Amino acid sequence: MKKNILFALFIFLSSFSKQNAQLIHTESIHLELGIPLDNNASNDYLIIRPQYALSYNSELNVPNWVSWNLHRGWFGGVPRYSGNFIQDTSLPAEFYRVKHGDYTGSGYDRGHMVRSEERTATAEDNKSTFLLTNIMPQTPTLNQQTWLSLEFECERLCKDQNKELFIVAGGIFGANPKRLNTVVTVPDSYWKIVVILDSGQRVSDITPATKVIAVLMKNEVYTSGTTDWKLYTTTVNAIEEKTGYDFLSDVPKDVQEMLESRNYLSIEHEMLSNTINIAPNPAQDQLGIMIPGNESQSSQISIVDIMGNTMSTSQVMLMADADGYMRHQLSLQGLSSGSYVLIIQKGAERYVAPFVKSE
């Protein structure tokens, strides 16, 4: 723990310049995609550890957000730390330092932001996740089932697909939030953003095709059938609106806007096995469509946004060519930039594919 504290870096964001932020970004893998900032720097106290980074709120006595890198190398075989959750004595003397007992008997779990299992390469890594600056009050069913279901998915992506994840998570608070032991503030809901890259990739490798998982979960009781994280997907934009923070700030602006507007899960759930080719993607004024077929046929083409709203529907003639494909050039004039799903209904056959409209 002493070594952990010695390597920690504490900075008030109110004194930040862009150069400070860039320097810290380059020194911490956990802030690879940028430091989330809002319009009130007075309650953002930045803590950077070898295992994760966070913004601590001394008014709420919980983190505003915790940010961390995750790949298969962070997983190991060390046992889970077995002591009490740890008071973070490295906080400034004027801050209240949350104790293990502040949660006792409250009915809320001490919910890890960086999961204990995600830091099992060394005993020091694992112990760092039990510092109470990495902990927030969660209902038992949220912590042990719904939130955990997404943690399992992150573990699967790392171990089975060799993905490298950049994750940031935190809570959303009401106007008059409940407090445990009069000090620890209880969020109304929780959010998490997971940027999915291949092993070794960094911010420079992010493209419009990069996948991002974003979820919003109520801090409430969950029952059977309601504990799958896929039920709570949303967009980064929606989380930014609710928290006031700017995420993925070091991603190029045009790409950032595309990524933050998408709900990837809704797109993936729409994908069917039927073959459809679209190009270019991202598209601008026109989108080329190609599907198997030997005869020209009138078909319905719809464009749906990531929230399921139909943006346009038209009846078009798909023209067959000598190669056994039906083709069409679809105009995207008047469609705002963003992420959409293209749906083609050709008789009883349905074809679905996501695409991006750029400026």
Point out the residues that are catalytic. 112
Angle at CA of residue 119, ends 116 and 123, nearest 5°: 95
User: What is d(CA 351, CA 216) in angstroms, rounded to the nearest whole number?
Assistant: 30
Contact 129, 119 (CB under 8 A): yes
User: What is d(CA 202, CA 251) in angstroms, rounded to the nearest whole number?
Assistant: 10
C-alpha torsion sign, points 38, 40, 41, 45:
negative
Give SS3 for 213: strand
Residue 169: DSSP 8-state: E
The structure tokens listed for 108 are 């809320």
Q: 359 to each of 178, 257, 356, how far by Cα in Å?
A: 45, 11, 10
Nearest CA-CA partner of 45 in 32, 54, 36: 54
Amino acid type, 144: Q
* Chain CA centroid to CA 283, Å: 25
